[in-house]
């Protein structure tokens, strides 16, 4: 009988040390406010980003994704991990006004960046028009993909790229909803789009 | 008189929390001292783990523990024929399928646990797994069931006597639930009491399974699953990762969180079995059935799982026929555990029989709707019982009208729009409409609100809102005055799990009963409490109506009454029984799907362009959430027809075990969907008359798509999914 040896995953540390691209990117990112990062230990990276309007200095393991930092360190758990591979869109947030999948965004690259999450979308207790529209049109069921859907929709509306239903469907297709609330999502984006003009 | 919210559009009461990201799911909890676990899965299809080298992982920064079959942690087998898997995780070195859990690494951060897990190596002795239905079948039959007309010797004889016969063999690979929330468990021990945060379709069942696997009293385990990011069947059992997480947290004396990676989910939390089915129809030339045979071969993993039985919920209950036989065989394979997935047997079963019916319609030249009406059943063809309530004929007629079925091209491949071929297809939906036992607690509170609690779960179904609507209706109060509670095993025992499309049909009667008892308790308190203005009155002279307690000219709202009495709340708990599944009636929900597709003449690209479905589900409790569930089910049918497939390789590896390769519908795959339901409360199922609808939309919808593709192209694809290469 054959003997098989398992050594499937390369660790991300190995990957970082072997991959010139990633390692260089980490090393050359301009760290705005790096002077405030005296605590930086060997192998760690100091980053100061603005999260939902609050300046947030952090010392991070270079492997840490924006998603994991938001969830595990800043306790902003509204942003969800659906796949960790950029395949589902549940982790969508805004970086400098653009939608990104936070699972494929390393925090070490975000010095000086403005990050907005679902927690930063509402105006105090007043729901953002998209949040209200998702409720009005039942644009979700289990609610797990919803923060990502809403953040994606906000960027799509802001871009002005989605006017017709078909354009909205296309632009929102990076955000999977397994409950399949898609028709409600399209209706919600249409309603909010008119209110946000 | 307040208007009852039953059947109206009520926005989800959990909506504001979900759209702001404040609804806590299992992985969102951060107890003090939390540590993180990462699983290691086997990379051979069948064999033995000879040794594992954990030295690098143990030496890695922040690592607290590495558990393997060689350095195990005690977990008790709680299978007893009812769990999903018959072995116990990490208790032996046997590898039963590729992707089985063989290790857990715990570290102080997520990144460190994940990296350390990648440093563990394993040596195996392996053999070739059994992975192919065709190579390992035909399976073992638990017993064919049949009814033959007097004088008919066998189903084959009946089929041979028919002027028209159709034989349709359809097949599909494994499918996956792909709930958006990866299975996650956060386990917190305090003294000897465990609180387990996890997604669950039935928190009370979950708690008892976890307790059994840990060897502790059920009362020592509390499962909290208030927000669950989708279930679709995959969160019915407590899977190994949850047991392992709880056991490791106990051993380490630290709160532990284990979140499965998306790839790990494809082999650790169940899948819909691959299945091959053959339907044979024998009919008169006018389309009336003489005989129907439905056979299937599906997986029964060596580790156990859900037996996929596609005929019993479809062919056995769909059409009138004097001769019928179903034989649902199971093939032993070395695959991961199978489990029920939305419309577990019914969705594939309906694809088989509704495709065969379309072929019969084509052969006889009879319109597909007319063919189904000619074979309309008022009794179960196999079981013989009458249906409790059935308006499927209206579904066909109303659906045909709303859709414009009369404009369907009669000849396949006869209508074009530029380079696009246009086709229309239809199919029947059917799903059991049962009602199980349930329990509820209703509590009048001195803040003027009413708690409506039941140990059920909301996996996106709308159960939070269902509780509020049912309580508001029963008490004559606004929905906003209700405080629903669910998703907690500590709620009164006997709550309905969110399974079998039965949570609403089961729970609403329990809420109604508890509301009646709470009113009785409120009145009793009012006449017995010396500080009550109703003290000393005969309870028969005291009335409750719309939140007010009255007697003669005295009247007081329950809030003021409770405050006057100095009582914070008055409550009642009620348990209700389900319907007798072996009773005189067959309970089924019904529907008719109509679909239009466009297929590109040159590329084979398939677009679903229109969908209309009409359902007969008894009473609808909340129109808004009901519509969403029905639409969701239909979209699952579109996915099943066109996208979803996970072939297994000979070494036991799933070929599409990630969300880039296992395709589920995205927004651009879905057209506007027209969903309508009839308003016929089912008088046999319960006072409120609700039969359930969570899975119904997913039954028959794939066949409607396939039948439309045939109408567009003249090509009948029997091996799902229908991909463009099969149309060129």
Rounded-to-integer distance, Cα B689 and Cα B678, Å: 13
Binning pLDDT at 50, 70 and 90, where does residue A38 land?
very low
The CATH number linked to B695 is 3.30.365.10
Residue whose token pair is 């649902």: B328
**B177-216 pLDDT tens trace:** 999 999 999 999 999 999 999 999 999 999 999 999 999 9
Residue among B21, B47, B629 whose CB faces A78 most closely: B21
- Answer whether B290's CB lies under 8 Å from B360's CB: no
Nearest to B90 by CA among B55, B54, B114, B115: B54
Average pLDDT over residues A9-16: 40
CA dihedral defined by B205, B207, B208, B213, rounded to 10 degrees? 120
pLDDT of residue A12: 38
**A152-172 pLDDT tens trace:** 999 999 999 889 999 999 999
- Answer whether A106's CB lies under 8 Å from A12's CB: no
pLDDT of residue B83: 73
Look at residues B576, B609, B640 and tell me which one is the last residue of a structural domain. B576
pLDDT of residue A40: 60
Binning pLDDT at 50, 70 and 90, where does residue A27 land?
very low
- Cβ contacts (< 8 Å) between A132 and chain B: which residues? 19
Rounded-to-integer distance, Cα A90 and Cα A150, Å: 10
Distances from the Cα of B585 to the Cα of A33, B236, B619, angstroms:
73, 27, 18
Residue B372 has pLDDT above 60, yes or no: yes
Look at residues B576, B605, B633 and tell me which one is the last residue of a structural domain. B576
Distances from the Cα of B78 to the Cα of A154, B240, B267, angstroms:
47, 11, 20
Residue among A68, A118, A121 whose CB faces B110 most closely: A68
Q: Could you state, in order of their start, the residue ranges of all structural domains in chain A? A: 16-78+105-117, 129-196
Residue B464 is assigned to a structural domain of this protein: yes
Same domain for B351 and B455?
no
**B43-89 pLDDT tens trace:** 999 999 999 999 999 999 999 999 999 999 999 998 876 778 999 99
Residue among B27, B127, B636 whose CB faces A1 most closely: B127
Contact criterion met (CB < 8 Å) for B667 and A170? yes
pLDDT of residue A6: 52
pLDDT of residue A11: 41
Peptide bond into B138 cis (omega under 30): yes
Conformational region of residue B610, where left means phi above 0, alpha means psi within -120 to 50, and beta covers everything else: beta
Binning pLDDT at 50, 70 and 90, where does residue A17 land?
very low
**B631-684 pLDDT tens trace:** 999 999 999 999 999 999 999 999 999 999 999 999 999 999 999 999 899 999
Average pLDDT over residues B511-523: 98
Peptide bond into B721 cis (omega under 30): yes
Domain span including residue B411: 344-434+583-727
> How many CA atoms within 13 Å lie on the side-chain side of B722?
31
Q: Specify burial of residue B216 (Cβ count, 10 A radius: 0-12, 13-18, 19+).
A: middle
Binning pLDDT at 50, 70 and 90, where does residue A125 land?
confident
- Cβ contacts (< 8 Å) between A166 and chain B: which residues? 668
Residue A1 has pLDDT above 50, yes or no: no
Same domain for B525 and B661?
no
Nearest to B219 by CA among B193, B199, B254: B193
Q: Which residues of A152-173 are buried (b: 16+ CB within 10 A; e: fewer)?
A: bbbbbbeeeebeebeebbbbbb
Contact criterion met (CB < 8 Å) for B228 and A142? yes
**B230-272 pLDDT tens trace:** 999 999 999 999 999 999 999 999 999 999 999 999 999 999 9
Binning pLDDT at 50, 70 and 90, where does residue A28 land?
very low
Question: For chain B, what percent of residues have pLDDT higher than 90?
Answer: 97
Rounded-to-integer distance, Cα B191 and Cα B712, Å: 66
The CATH number linked to B118 is 3.90.1170.50
Mean pLDDT of chain A: 85
- Cβ contacts (< 8 Å) between A173 and chain B: which residues? 666-669
Average pLDDT over residues B423-437: 96
Q: Specify burial of residue B328 (Cβ count, 10 A radius: 0-12, 13-18, 19+).
A: buried
B24-63 residues touching A, CB cutoff 8 A: 24-25, 27-28, 30, 42-44, 47, 50
pLDDT of residue B580: 87
* DSSP conformation class of B697: G
Residue B590 has pLDDT above 80, yes or no: yes
With CA atoms as reference, the chain A residue closest to B43 would be: A6
ipTM: 0.97
Domain count, chain B: 3
Residue A49 has pLDDT above 70, yes or no: yes
* CATH match for A129-196 among 3.40.50.1000, 3.30.450.20, 3.30.565.10, 1.10.150.120: 1.10.150.120
Residue B463 is assigned to a structural domain of this protein: yes
Residue B307 is assigned to a structural domain of this protein: no
Contact criterion met (CB < 8 Å) for B462 and A141? yes
Rounded-to-integer distance, Cα B298 and Cα B300, Å: 7
Q: How far does chain B reach from its first CA to its final CA, in angstroms?
A: 63
Rounded-to-integer distance, Cα A124 and Cα A119, Å: 10
Q: Residue B580: CB partners within 8 Å, gap ≥ 6?
A: none
Same domain for B653 and B668?
yes
Same domain for B661 and B705?
yes
Residue A98 has pLDDT above 50, yes or no: yes
Q: How far is CA B89 from the centre of its chain?
A: 25
Residue B503 has pLDDT above 90, yes or no: yes
Nearest to B672 by CA among B624, B622, B607, B724: B607
Strands B323-333 vs B289-301: parallel, antiparallel or unpaired: parallel
pLDDT of residue B624: 98
Binning pLDDT at 50, 70 and 90, where does residue B135 land?
confident
With CA atoms as reference, the chain A residue closest to B183 would be: A82
Q: Is there a catalytic annotation at residue B695? A: yes
Look at residues B529, B552, B576 and tell me which one is the last residue of a structural domain. B576
Residue among B18, B111, B668 whose CB faces A61 most closely: B111
Residue B627 contacts A where some CB pair is shorter than 8 Å:
yes
Q: How far does chain A reach from its first CA to its final CA, in angstroms?
A: 68
Same domain for B705 and B685?
yes
Residue A177 has pLDDT above 90, yes or no: yes
**Three-point CA angle B425, B616, A188, nearest 5°:** 75
Residue among B21, B230, B660 whose CB faces A87 most closely: B660
With CA atoms as reference, the chain A residue closest to B609 would be: A166
Residue B20 contacts A where some CB pair is shorter than 8 Å:
yes
How close is the nearest chain A Cα to the Cα of B270, in Å? 16
Contact criterion met (CB < 8 Å) for A176 and B50? no
* DSSP conformation class of B323: E
Instruction: Identify the three-state secondary structure at position B423.
Output: strand
Residue B127 contacts A where some CB pair is shorter than 8 Å:
yes
Q: Residue B426: CB partners within 8 Å, gap ≥ 6?
A: B368, B369, B399, B400, B403, B405, B592, B593, B594, B595, B704, B707
User: So what's the architecture of A16-78+105-117 in CATH?
Assistant: Roll (3.10)
Average pLDDT over residues B372-380: 98
Same domain for B558 and B670?
no
Nearest to B635 by CA among B342, B197, B362: B342
pLDDT of residue A2: 47
């Amino acid at each position: 009988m054959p003997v098989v040896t398992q050594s499937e995953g390369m660790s991300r540390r190995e990957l970082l040390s072997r991959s010139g691209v990633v390692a260089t990117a980490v090393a050359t990112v301009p760290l705005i406010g790096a002077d405030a990062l005296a605590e930086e230990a060997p192998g760690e990276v100091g980053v100061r980003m603005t999260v939902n309007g609050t300046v947030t200095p952090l010392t991070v393991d270079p492997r840490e994704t924006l998603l994991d930092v938001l969830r595990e360190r800043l306790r902003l758990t509204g942003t969800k991990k659906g796949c960790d591979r950029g395949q589902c869109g549940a982790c969508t947030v805004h970086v400098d006004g653009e939608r990104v999948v936070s699972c494929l965004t390393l925090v070490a690259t975000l010095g000086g960046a403005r990050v907005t999450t679902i927690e930063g979308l509402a105006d105090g207790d007043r729901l953002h028009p998209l949040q209200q529209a998702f409720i009005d049109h039942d644009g979700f069921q289990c609610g797990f993909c919803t923060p990502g859907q809403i953040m994606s929709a906000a960027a799509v509306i802001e871009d002005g790229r989605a006017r017709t239903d078909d354009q909205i469907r296309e632009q929102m297709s990076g955000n999977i909803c397994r409950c399949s609330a898609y028709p409600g999502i399209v209706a919600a984006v249409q309603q909010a789009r008119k209110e946000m003009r | 008189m307040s208007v009852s919210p039953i059947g109206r559009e009520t926005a989800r009461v959990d909506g504001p929390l979900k759209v702001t990201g404040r609804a806590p799911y299992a992985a969102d909890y951060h107890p003090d001292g939390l540590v993180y676990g990462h699983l290691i899965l086997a990379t051979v299809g069948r064999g033995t783990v000879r040794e594992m080298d954990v030295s690098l992982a143990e030496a890695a920064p922040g690592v607290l523990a590495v558990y393997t079959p060689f350095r195990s942690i005690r977990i008790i087998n709680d299978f007893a024929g009812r769990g999903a898997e018959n072995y116990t995780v990490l208790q032996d070195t046997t590898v039963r399928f590729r992707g089985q859990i063989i290790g857990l690494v715990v570290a102080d951060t997520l990144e460190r646990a994940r990296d350390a897990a990648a440093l563990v190596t394993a040596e195996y002795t392996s053999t070739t797994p059994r992975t192919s239905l065709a190579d390992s079948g035909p399976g073992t039959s638990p017993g064919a069931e049949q009814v033959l007309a007097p004088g008919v010797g066998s189903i084959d004889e009946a089929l041979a006597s028919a002027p028209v016969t159709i034989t349709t063999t359809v097949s599909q690979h494994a499918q996956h639930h792909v709930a958006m929330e990866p299975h996650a468990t956060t386990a917190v021990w305090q003294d000897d009491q465990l609180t387990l945060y996890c997604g669950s379709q039935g928190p009370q069942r979950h708690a008892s399974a976890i307790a059994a696997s840990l060897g502790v009293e059920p009362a020592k385990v509390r499962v909290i699953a208030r927000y669950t990011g989708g279930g679709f069947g995959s969160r019915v059992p407590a899977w190994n990762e949850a047991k392992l997480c709880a056991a490791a947290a106990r051993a380490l004396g630290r709160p532990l969180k284990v979140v499965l990676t998306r790839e790990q989910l494809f082999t650790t939390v169940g899948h819909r079995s691959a299945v091959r089915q053959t339907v044979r129809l024998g009919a008169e030339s006018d389309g009336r059935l003489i005989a129907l045979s439905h056979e299937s071969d599906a997986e029964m993993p060596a580790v156990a799982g859900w037996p996929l039985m596609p005929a019993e919920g479809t062919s056995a209950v769909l059409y009138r026929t004097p001769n019928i036989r179903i034989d649902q065989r199971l093939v032993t394979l070395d695959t991961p555990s199978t489990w029920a997935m939305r419309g577990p047997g019914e969705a594939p079963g309906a694809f088989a029989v509704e495709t065969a019916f379309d072929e019969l319609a084509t052969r006889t030249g009879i319109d597909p709707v007319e063919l189904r009406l000619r074979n309309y059943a008022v009794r179960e063809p196999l079981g013989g019982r009458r249906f409790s309530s059935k308006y499927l004929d209206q579904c066909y007629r109303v659906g045909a009208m709303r859709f414009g079925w009369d404009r369907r091209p009669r000849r396949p491949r006869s209508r074009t729009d530029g380079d696009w071929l246009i086709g229309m297809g239809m199919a029947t939906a059917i799903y059991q409409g049962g009602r199980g036992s349930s329990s509820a607690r209703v509590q009048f509170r001195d803040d003027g609100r009413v708690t409506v609690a039941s140990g059920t779960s909301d996996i996106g179904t709308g159960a939070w809102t269902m509780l509020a609507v049912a309580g508001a209706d029963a008490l004559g109060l606004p929905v906003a005055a209700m405080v629903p509670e669910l998703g907690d095993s500590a709620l009164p025992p006997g709550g309905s799990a969110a399974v079998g499309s039965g949570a609403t049909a089961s729970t609403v009667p329990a809420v109604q009963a508890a509301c009646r008892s709470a009113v009785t308790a409120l009145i009793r308190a009012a006449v017995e409490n010396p500080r009550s203005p109703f003290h000393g009155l005969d309870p028969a002279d005291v009335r409750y109506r719309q939140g007010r307690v009255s007697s003669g000219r005295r009247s007081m709202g329950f809030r003021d009454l409770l405050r006057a009495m100095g009582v914070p709340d008055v409550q009642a708990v009620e348990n209700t029984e389900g319907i007798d599944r072996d009773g005189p009636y067959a309970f089924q929900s019904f529907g008719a799907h109509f679909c239009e597709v466009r297929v590109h003449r040159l590329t084979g690209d398939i677009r679903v362009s229109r969908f209309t479905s009409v359902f007969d589900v008894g009473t609808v409790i909340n129109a808004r959430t009901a519509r969403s569930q029905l639409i969701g089910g239909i979209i699952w049918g579109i996915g099943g027809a066109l996208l979803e497939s996970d072939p297994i390789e000979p070494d036991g590896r799933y070929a599409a075990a990630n969300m880039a390769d296992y395709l589920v519908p995205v927004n651009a795959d879905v057209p506007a969907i027209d969903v309508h339901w009839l308003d016929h409360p089912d008088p046999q199922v319960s006072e409120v008359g609700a039969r359930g609808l969570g899975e119904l939309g997913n039954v028959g919808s794939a066949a409607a798509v396939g039948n439309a593709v045939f109408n567009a192209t003249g090509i009948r694809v029997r091996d799902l999914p229908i991909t463009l290469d099969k149309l060129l």
